Amino acid sequence: MKIIKSYKLFESHWEKEEYIEEVVKQLSKYDITPVNLKELVAQYENEIEKRCSVSEHPLVLVGEIVKDLELKRNSNSMSVYFGKDRRGETTL
């Protein structure tokens, strides 16, 4: 896995893999399961390629996705992965 350097934010060209990694990183901050996140990336693959070719920053696309789907920020990021039953026990 390639790590995006902090200076990458100011670089004008993004590789497709780096662009997808940044989109996934930003979208993972919202109430969305990993499976849905993977489906979203597949759904927006053509849009990602197009925006990569014109060197648009991934945050622009993420902002549009968040607005279109009306996503909310995680109040508890672990709530996506673990639920609680009525007795308060953690379930998988």
pLDDT tens digit sequence for 4-54? 555 555 556 788 899 999 999 999 888 888 898 999 999 999 999 999 888
For residue 55, tell me if it sits in a domain.
Answer: yes
Q: Please report whether residue 82 resides in a domain.
A: no
Residue-level length of the chain: 92
Is residue 30 within 8 Å of residue 66, measured between CB atoms? Answer: yes
Higher-scoring residue by pLDDT: 79, 25: 25
User: Is 77 contained in some domain?
Assistant: no
The two three-digit tokens of residue 83, written as one number: 């639920």
Domain span including residue 25: 20-70
Question: Which of 63, 84, 78 shows the shortest CA–CA distance to 44?
Answer: 63
At residue 63, the 3 state secondary structure works out as: helix
- Give the chain's domain count: 1
Asked if residue 24 belongs to a domain, the reply is yes
Does the residue 49 lie in any domain?
Answer: yes
Query: Scanning the structure block, which residue is given the tokens 């993420």?
Result: 62
Query: Could you tell me if residue 57 is inside a domain?
Result: yes
Q: Is 8 inside any structural domain?
A: no
Say if residues 18 and 2 touch (Cβ distance below 8 Å). Answer: yes
46 within domain boundaries:
yes
